[in-house]
Chain A
Amino acid sequence: MKRFIAFVKKEVFHITRDFRTMLILFGMPVAQILLFGFAITNEIRDANIAILDHSKDHISEKLTNKFLSSGYFKLDSYLQSAEEIETEFKKGKIKLVIVFGKQFGENLNRFQSSELQIIADATDPNTANTLINYTQSIVRDFVASLNPGPPTGIMIIPEVRFRYNQNLKGVFLFVPGLITIILMLVTAMMTSISLTREKELGTMEVLLASPMKPIQIIVAKVIPYIFLAFFISIIVLLLGYFVFGVPIKGNLLLLLFELLLFVLTTLSLGILISTIAKTQLVALMISVMGLLLPTIILSGFIFPIENMPKILQWISNIIPAKWFIIIVKNIMLKGSGIDMVWKETLIILGFAMLFIMMSLKKFNIRIG
């Protein structure tokens, strides 16, 4: 036990001495959560638009006011002719042009129909889509206000409610995703690098020639990283809770247990990487290209798995992080208990056992 403590102590020195890594480890999650929370949202405010009004009557003016008072749009300029549309777009300042047809109000009164053209800059398709949706709902609102009284004919008005994240805040999804990525970074990447470092420096041989057993060496090496991973996850949870109001509806102990289970999985992946990689650089490359990138892309953290081609959906099943994100989302946002996430938990448990066995076997072969 004394030997073990001496080893853990040395490992803690390694981590804390490396100021730059510490800064990245603690700074990155905080920066990311603030970025995702504040800067990166799907909502667009004050998009610059231009208006080309061919009729200039009081109805087109009313609709224009409605657009501009919505908060989504900001008037950049009034255009005088259709030729200007192209030049204005090319300047890159405006995202959308609204074109009122001739005799807009008159046609509306006389024929119950009028022309409104909406042109969006689709170089960024997501923004264009969102803006178009905004204008359409504003126009729909406007038309409804022109026709007071009960609607004629058959009509279905769906009442939509978004549950578990009523305001569709992106940060609700990013907190579980970010915890996952951080756990992978700290456990898989950091441990694989720190283990290969001992190999590269030649200290691993000396350790193996000492009375420390291989399993003791591994466990002593990874314990500080488990604590580090836990500590950073809790910071992210607290930031999410206090700054953005991301709730933890479920059992906190259950959440921490799942966290531990996932950490075991990624740790053994880290050990596995260290048995393959000969140098720290290779370990870094394998962790980033082989582990981190597929996780970010295929875990559902950023891109919805439901929208992927079938083959990628299958592949996503072997990404442990996918299951972990589902668990964390369910526990945090829906307040699910173990009865709701036992299936995903079992899958991660399976991954953990598989990887632990593989890494221990590989590690022993290497010495044998």
Chain B
Amino acid sequence: MTSDAVISSENLTKKFGSFTAVDHITFEVKKGEIFGFLGANGAGKTTAMKMFCGLLRPTSGKGFVAGLDIYKESEKIKKRIGYMSQRFSLYEDLTVNENIQFYAGIYGLDRKTIRKKQHELSDKLQLTAYQNKLISSLPLGWKQKLAFSVAIVHEPDIVFLDEPTGGVDPVTRRQFWDLIYEAADAGVTVFVTTHYMDEAEYCDRISMMVDGRIEAIGSTDHLKAKYKVNSMNDVFLILARNVEI
């Protein structure tokens, strides 16, 4: 493990009965990196991510997040990470402000900081007019951006995004990635799972998971050169589907 790694694993494995969902994965993510965790549906991306977030207990292997052991120090880890699930995780029957208050509240932010964050967020996302509107009245793209901002409201070291851009149009997706870049510039490490290969191009480095194993890892340019193809889509097809290009 190198000194600037914020996520690292060594032969990390998760079995559900006889099924091995994550099979001896070993990799590192450096501080401030945008790391794309790619793979087909069911390749084990979400399971691996859940182990780092303390939502699942690994079967074997080692894993560290922010220098903390995922077996013994998951409670400490939870204070240092943010998590955004596939389903945006905002409460529809609460207003924008109440959602921010709630998530900031469960991370233990004090009232003054919460108020400051509310102003910052609504300015940044241009939601000032919607502060007291219910989430259910917002369009999907805004919900998504707000969900991301809420996931990093407590200024974590690392944010885990589990397929954050499902179901939105490319323009909104692009705007969403602007937010991710902004967070990365501020020093937050971003760990993002996706099966959109065009999104892979936005990442500093990616790993490709197939059947629970990491089949390839590196920058997109590096991978495209290695497999002698022009797009990440082709890399994916070669690795995941064994297609000859």
Contacts and interface: CB of A to CB of B under 8 A. Distances in A.
Interface of A: 2-3, 5-7, 9-10, 13-14, 17-18, 201-203, 205-213, 367-368
25 contacts: A3-B108, A6-B105, A7-B102, A9-B101, A9-B102, A10-B91, A10-B98, A10-B102, A13-B93, A13-B98, A17-B93, A201-B87, A201-B91, A202-B87, A205-B50, A205-B55, A206-B84, A207-B106, A209-B78, A209-B83, A211-B78, A211-B106, A211-B107, A212-B106, A213-B75
A203 B107 contact: no
B158 to A, nearest CB: 11
A210 B55 contact: no
B88 interface: yes
A3 B105 contact: yes
Main secondary structure of the interface of A (DSSP, over half): helix
Contacts of A10: 91, 94, 98, 102, 105
A-B CB proximity, top 9 nearest: A6-B105, A202-B87, A209-B83, A206-B89, A10-B102, A202-B85, A209-B53, A211-B78, A17-B93
Contacts of A13: 91, 93-94, 98
Contacts of A14: 91, 93-94
Contacts of A2: 105, 108, 110
B119 interface: no
B54 interface: yes
B222 interface: no
A6 B101 contact: yes
B57 interface: yes
A18 B75 contact: no
Contacts of B79: 211
A317 B78 CA distance: 45
B233 interface: no
Interface string B201-241: 00000000000000000000000000000000000000000
Given A7-B105, A205-B50, A205-B85, 7 more contacts: A6-B101, A6-B106, A13-B98, A14-B91, A201-B91, A202-B87, A211-B79
B7 interface: no
A5 B104 CA distance: 12
B34 interface: no
